[in-house]
């Protein structure tokens, strides 16, 4: 039965490709945990997570300032990138004439393609001196890092939310306009609410990139392990911590860097859960299916 064989192999083959990503992530998580747990055990869970001092040469491993650093940079950059990105997406999807869209879309996509080291170098050479002159201090700061990140996550937010706005059925818009609503009222009251799940997805993807970004942040954030007293203070992100010290780390220091990775993985998982929940809550039902 050759027919059966073909079906069988292709089905199993597709299953294998689908499952392989799960296997890979499971292996990675397993490995990170295996390497990281010893450090958490020897330091103690709470003194690792909430410890204020990171001094590997003295055997102190507390990552709380870096958790604050990562969250601070991420929140700041989202505060700037989300309004900018969403409004830009509305403009592209609803208002921009097609000639303008043809220029804007590739430009924004190019932003996404620039390697992060280029952003970092740009930040180090141009943005850091600018920040120093404007706001004093060294110029290396949480704010500088989040400005760079804003530019980096903008293309993700713009393109994913633009798709969301475009996927709203034309009937919605037509119905709203037919009822006498203006274009802005239609966008505000019909299109935007219907597209919210997609917008949330775009924000989550942007946040994921912001949390995971390493190189550009190393170059402009100053990498000082401290809880910043203002947004113009230098901070160190969790990812930077791993990248900066991995080359030298041995023994428990090495394990502590993997433990930092565990914390990062948990942060991402929590964010994904929240995102999926919001996505589900805001889903618009239409006809028999979801949007």
Binding site for other proteins (CB under 8 A): 2, 5-6, 55-58, 124-125, 128-129, 132, 137-140, 218-219, 222-224, 226, 234, 236, 243-245, 247-250
Q: Of 195 and 242, which has the nearer Cβ to other proteins?
A: 242
List the one residue out of 84, 95, 211 whose CA is nearest residue 155. Answer: 84
CA distance 71 to 68: 5
Residue 129, C-beta contacts closer than 8 angstroms, at least 6 positions apart: 139
Q: How far is the CB of 15 from other proteins (least distance, A)?
A: 18
Q: Of 96 and 224, which has the nearer Cβ to other proteins?
A: 224
CA distance 115 to 100: 26
Q: How far is the CB of 192 from other proteins (least distance, A)?
A: 42
Q: How far is the CB of 223 from other proteins (least distance, A)?
A: 4
Q: Of 53 and 163, which has the nearer Cβ to other proteins?
A: 53
Residue 223, C-beta contacts closer than 8 angstroms, at least 6 positions apart: 140, 234, 235, 236, 240, 244
CA–CA distance from 205 to each of 199, 201, 210, 233, 240 (Å)?
10, 6, 9, 27, 20
Q: How far is the CB of 2 from other proteins (least distance, A)?
A: 4
Q: How far is the CB of 124 from other proteins (least distance, A)?
A: 5
Instruction: Spell out a b/e string for 159-169, using b for 16 or more CB atoms within 10 Å of the CB, else e.
Output: bbbbebbeebe
Answer for the pair 221, 240: CB distance below 8 angstroms, yes or no: yes
Q: Of 6 and 11, which has the nearer Cβ to other proteins?
A: 6
Q: Of 235 and 291, which has the nearer Cβ to other proteins?
A: 235
């Amino acid at each position: 039965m050759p027919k059966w064989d073909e079906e069988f192999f292709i089905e199993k083959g597709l299953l294998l490709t689908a499952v392989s990503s799960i296997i890979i992530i499971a292996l990675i998580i397993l490995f990170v945990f295996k390497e990281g747990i010893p450090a958490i055990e020897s330091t103690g869970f709470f003194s690792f997570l909430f410890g204020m001092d990171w001094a590997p040469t003295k055997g102190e491993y507390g990552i709380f300032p870096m958790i604050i650093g990562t969250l601070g940079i991420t929140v700041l950059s989202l505060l700037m990138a989300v309004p900018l990105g969403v409004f830009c997406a509305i403009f592209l999807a609803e208002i921009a004439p097609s000639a303008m869209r043809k220029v804007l879309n590739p430009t924004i996509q190019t932003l996404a393609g620039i390697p992060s080291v280029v952003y970092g170098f740009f930040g180090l050479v141009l943005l850091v001196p600018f920040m120093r002159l404007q706001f004093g201090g060294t110029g290396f700061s949480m704010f500088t890092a989040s400005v760079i990140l804003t530019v980096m996550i903008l293309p993700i937010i713009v393109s994913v939310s633009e798709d969301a706005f475009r996927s709203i059925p034309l009937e919605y818009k037509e119905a709203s306009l037919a009822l006498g609503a203006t274009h802005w009222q239609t966008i505000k009251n019909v299109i935007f609410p219907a597209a919210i799940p997609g917008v949330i997805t775009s924000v989550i993807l942007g946040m994921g990139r912001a949390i995971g970004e390493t190189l550009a942040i190393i170059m402009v954030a100053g990498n000082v392990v401290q809880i910043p007293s203002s947004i113009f203070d230098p901070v160190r992100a969790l990812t930077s911590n791993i990248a900066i010290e991995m080359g030298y780390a041995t023994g428990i220091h090495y394990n502590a860097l993997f433990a930092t990775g565990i914390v990062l993985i948990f942060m991402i998982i929590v964010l994904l859960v929240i995102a999926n929940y919001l996505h589900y809550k805001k889903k618009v039902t239409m006809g028999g299916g979801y949007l």
